[in-house]
Chain A
Amino acid sequence: MTTRAHARPLAMRRTGAVLLGVIAVVALLAPWIAPNPPDRRFPNLLYAPPTPVHAFDAHGVAPHAHALRIVSRIERSFEEEPASRGPMLLLGADAYGRDIFSRLLYGARTTLGLAVCATLAATLLGALVGGIAGYASGWLDAVLARLSEFVLVLPAIYVALALRAVMPLVLAASTVFTLLLAIFALLGWPMVARGVRAIVASEREREYVIAARAAGASASRVLLRHLLPAAAGYLRTQATLLLPAFILAEATLSYIGLGFPDTTPTWGTMLQEAANVALLGDAPWTLAPAAAIFFVVLSVNLFVQGTGRPPIQLER
Chain B
Amino acid sequence: MVPFLIRRAIFAIVLLVCTSSTALFLTRLAPGDVTSQLGPTASRDEIDSTRARFDLNRNPLAQWMLWSGRAVRLDFGDSFLYNQPVGPLVVRAAGNTAVLALVALAIASVAGIALGIVSGSRQGRSVAAAVGGVSLVGVSMPPLLTSLLLVFVAARTGWLPPGGMSSANASDMGWAAWMLDVAWHLPLPALALAVPIAAMFERLQSQSMSEAVQQPFVVAAIARGVSTRDVILRHAWPVSLRPLCAVYGLVIGALLSGSFIVEYVTAWPGIGRLMYEALRARDIYLVAACAAMGAVFLAIGTLTGDLLLAASDPRVREGDA
Contact = CB atoms under 8 A, between A and B. Distances in A.
Interface of A: 1, 4-5, 150, 153-158, 161-163, 165-169, 244, 248, 251-252, 255-256, 271, 274-275, 277-278, 280-281, 284, 287, 290, 293-294, 297-298, 301-302, 305, 310-316
B105 interface: no
Contacts of B31: 166-168
B207 A310 contact: yes
16 contacts: A155-B294, A158-B256, A244-B140, A255-B264, A256-B261, A277-B162, A281-B152, A287-B149, A290-B145, A294-B140, A305-B136, A310-B203, A312-B203, A314-B251, A314-B254, A316-B253
B161 to A, nearest CB: 10
B275 interface: yes
A281 B156 CA distance: 5
Interface string B297-316: 01000100000000000000
Contacts of B302: 153
A312 B200 contact: yes
Interface stretch (B22-30, B48-56, B217-225, B229-237): B22-30
B257 A274 contact: no
A274 B147 CA distance: 11
Given A280-B155, A314-B247, A162 B148 contact: no
B226 to A, nearest CB: 25
B142 A312 contact: no
B191 interface: no
Contacts of B149: 287, 290
A271 B257 CA distance: 19
Instruction: Name, among B19, B142, B196, the residue most crowded by chain A CB atoms within 10 Å (CB to CB).
Output: B142
Contact of B151 (A155, A244, A277, A301): A277
A134 to B, nearest CB: 22
B217 to A, nearest CB: 24
B139 A251 contact: no
Contacts of A275: 265
A280 B140 contact: no
Contact of A301 (B18, B23, B136): B136
**Chain B contact residues: over half helix, strand or loop, or mixed?**
helix
A163 B29 CA distance: 11
B114 to A, nearest CB: 17
Nearest to B294: A158
A30 B252 CA distance: 39
Contacts of B32: 168
B188 to A, nearest CB: 11
B26 A311 contact: no
Contact of A315 (B136, B137, B142, B294): B142
A172 B143 CA distance: 28
Contacts of B27: 166
A251 B137 CA distance: 19
Given A161-B276, A161-B279, A248-B142, A280 B253 contact: no
Given A167-B30, A311-B203, A280 B152 contact: yes
Nearest to B255: A155
Contacts, number: 141
Interface residues of B, number: 56
B15 interface: yes
A36 B144 CA distance: 28
Contacts of A298: 136-137, 140
Nearest to A163: B26
B124 interface: yes
Contacts of B155: 277-278, 280-281
B298 to A, nearest CB: 6
Interface string B242-273: 00000100110110111011001100000010
B292 interface: no
B152 A287 contact: yes
Nearest to B204: A310
B305 to A, nearest CB: 11
Contacts of B137: 298
Contact of B144 (A150, A161, A252, A278): A252
Contact of A284 (B26, B141, B152, B258): B152
B77 interface: no
Contacts of B145: 290, 293-294
Given A287-B152, A316-B250, A316-B254, A311 B136 contact: yes
B280 interface: yes
A16 B251 CA distance: 26
A153 B27 CA distance: 21
B258 to A, nearest CB: 7
B189 interface: no
A286 to B, nearest CB: 9
A183 B196 CA distance: 25
Interface string B118-148: 0000001000000000001101111111001
A282 B169 CA distance: 27
Contacts of B257: 155-158, 315-316
Contacts of A274: 148, 152
B165 to A, nearest CB: 15
Contacts of A150: 18
B33 to A, nearest CB: 11
Nearest to A2: B124
A155 B253 contact: yes
Nearest to B152: A280
Contacts of A256: 261, 264, 276
Contacts of A165: 30, 276, 279-280
Contacts of B264: 255-256
Interface in B140-184: 140-145, 148-149, 151-152, 155-156, 162-163
B124 A312 contact: no
